[in-house]
Amino acid sequence: MRLAPELVADLLTHHPRIARALRKNQLVDEAILREWLMNVGRRSAVERLAHLFCELLLRLKVVGLADGTGYKLPLTQVDFADTTGIISVHVNRSLRELR
């Protein structure tokens, strides 16, 4: 859903709590972006996958789809490769190492 720019400007001007919430959301998004830039640029394949699993755990816990011990993850090694920027063969080796 898209909001008209005028409506957003009105919300930001007349509803400071909404403005604060939007700003916090933007800061969280920017922090996640920085982590993923670091993930692709500086971390090993094992570190990239571990970071992905940890981030998914935290996000799924927030929405009630994970507990402290794990979560369902119906993804293929090709999906992991695409997400982390490594080739699927390397994903296989890295998953074995993480196990």
Judgement on whether residues 38 and 55 belong to the same structural domain of the protein: no
Express each pLDDT in 46-89 by its tens digit: 999 999 999 899 889 999 999 878 899 999 999 999 989 899 99
42: pLDDT strictly greater than 90? no
Judgement on whether residues 53 and 69 belong to the same structural domain of the protein: yes
Judgement on whether residues 64 and 96 belong to the same structural domain of the protein: yes
Residue-number span of the structural domain to which 85 is assigned: 44-99
Distances (CA, A) of 92 to 5, 31, 54, 99: 46, 29, 18, 11
Which pLDDT value is given to residue 40?
A: 72
Judgement on whether residues 31 and 66 belong to the same structural domain of the protein: no
- Give the residue, 38 or 64, on which the prediction is more confident: 64
Judgement on whether residues 36 and 70 belong to the same structural domain of the protein: no
Express each pLDDT in 10-26 by its tens digit: 988 999 999 999 899 89
Judgement on whether residues 99 and 78 belong to the same structural domain of the protein: yes
CA angle 62, 25, 73 (to 5 degrees): 35
Q: Domain of 50: which CATH number?
A: 1.10.10
Judgement on whether residues 80 and 51 belong to the same structural domain of the protein: yes
End-to-end Cα spacing for the chain: 41
